[in-house]
Structure 1
Amino acid sequence: MAGSGSAHLRSDEETLLTVEGLVVVHHTGGGSFKAVAGISFDLARGETLGIVGESGCGKSTTARAVLRLDPIAAGRIRYGEEQINHVPEKRMRELRREMQMIFQDPVASLNPRRPVKDLVVEGLAIAGAPAKQQAEKSAAMLAEVGLGNDRFAGMYPRQLSGGQAQRVAIGRALALDPRLLICDEPVSALDVSVQAQILNLLERLKKEFDLTIVFIAHDLGVVRTISDNVLVMYLGKMCEFGDSVEVYDKPAHPYTRALLDSVPLTDPDKGFAGPALAGDIASPLRPPEGCRFKSRCPIAQNICGVEEPTVREVRPGQYAACHFPLN
């Protein structure tokens, strides 16, 4: 489950990743602010969790904190049987072999001076794997991600399309045989047709490699096709969590409803599913009192401006932080 102060729905044996009350503080020239302000969730083995929200809501920061790439100000993160908040960096480097990340900009994430065949096994090379093992693994992973043609092995990132570069990045992540794969907006920089190819590839590899996935996106339409559960974030807070089918069919939080309404319809003449969300996101340096979504919420009332809503179960397995959850 997700949510502040609520009980977990799964046993420890079922759960691969548990995040409890995660707080991450960013420091800027204008002051400090909580980029992530108390997020909690469980991720079961073999499950895909979609994390959704507008730019700057804390999605990527949450992912980076799980890998301890961003410092954790408060809260706890448990991976498997280990609390990883304070494990030594040497141990964390070992754990990162099991917790790999795919980034938004595939070309920028690849070393421009190395050929594809070497990029795929960078992690193995750092770990000191023999050259023969690296060569065999490189060929195998390139075949897995649809780049098995020999011509790709000697190419450099600048010679690849965005979709091809992302396939290389996926192969590089899987070369270390991870258990957890964190995908940080891996298709947002790609054309729609290529997005579908990458999503289908991830779905196949998830089954083949028995992966557990955190999939981050700002597009609810993309997340729907790949996620078992969805976590919706706004200004560092959790708005809603639940089974992806339930959340899409019956959103409980007005912000989730607004995100769904912003998805373009398949008929270009009909525009979007619903009206555009009014107003701008408040500054994270000065978050509003009460509910952080209140200034943009069409159903906000007086209590929303003075009392922060707590996360509560509004339907079986579906949670929302809203004083007036939708029916």
Structure 2
Amino acid sequence: MREFAYLRPTDPAEAVQLLAGAPEARYLAGGTNLVDLMKLGVERPRLLVDLGRLPLGGVTPTEDGGLRIGALVPNADLAADPRVRAAYPVLSQALLAGASGQLRNRATTGGNLLQRTRCLYFQDTAKPCNRRSPGTGCPAREGVHRDLAVLGASEHCVTTHPSDLAVALAALDAVVELLGPDGARTLPVTDLYRLPGDRPHEEHRLLPGELIAAVTLPPPAPGARCAYRKVRDRASYAFALASAAGVLAVRAGRVAHVRLALGGVAPKPWRAWTAEQRLVGGPADEASFTAALEAELADARPLRDNAYKVPLARGLAVRLLCDLAAKGADR
């Protein structure tokens, strides 16, 4: 076992300074991903900065009618929060689809967003991987890639982002609050992640030492319904082959408001901007939903063994939107 130092600051600014001054340090929250990667030898920090004593918990209402979720709120608590279940059921559904009960009790909001890929080559230090060791190659392209990306990938990396929570937050227009050495700033959750391009080891837009302090949700759109759907290899505790988070408001049979994000198909939560633009103002029916998803997926570039993800994602998202439209019509 490689030795490492372990510190438990009680002030967020102290935690930021500890990490900013130590390139081989890592923040530790629930540890459900980091500890596994340390056991595999993928992560080899010399310092762990435990965030558990920081005042970054709680779910509180915002002045405009939204919610502010502390970065250390456990996934189980967030999924069970009555305000989340009532106003943002897509978020609760995504969390409950994401892991076992034991993991949800430990995993945190901030840590969930920053979990790393489960690509087999990334997790095996005996194999090359551009995301883990830049410049070594991406054997997944010709190797085992059934579960990997069909959108947003590159010749250097075809991984998928594993978070269900991030997909739901992308559809909710959530904003992350960041705290770093230069102070606080915010980013839309859709801007938190980077596509691999030719630098797949740069996974997100956090600056050195920055931590996620909270996630803010805007108030629900008037008349909108929302939901999360996920397809996986087994009924529980499995990562998405494809998933969809949708928010839809229908008035007089036409789409008044729509947000759609896809999971399991790209290196980051995939906000379906093209589909949304095509849908707003149009008829809320299966034909329109299908045409919009076909336009969204037109740039998909599947590999040898994952072409099934394109019709799977399309069908999943279309069925989700149809169900939301039907529920909206009952109001």
Report the TM-score when normalising by structure 1.
Answer: 0.23
Report the TM-score when normalising by structure 2.
Answer: 0.23
Structure number with the bigger relative contact order (C-alpha 8 A, sep ≥ 6) is 1
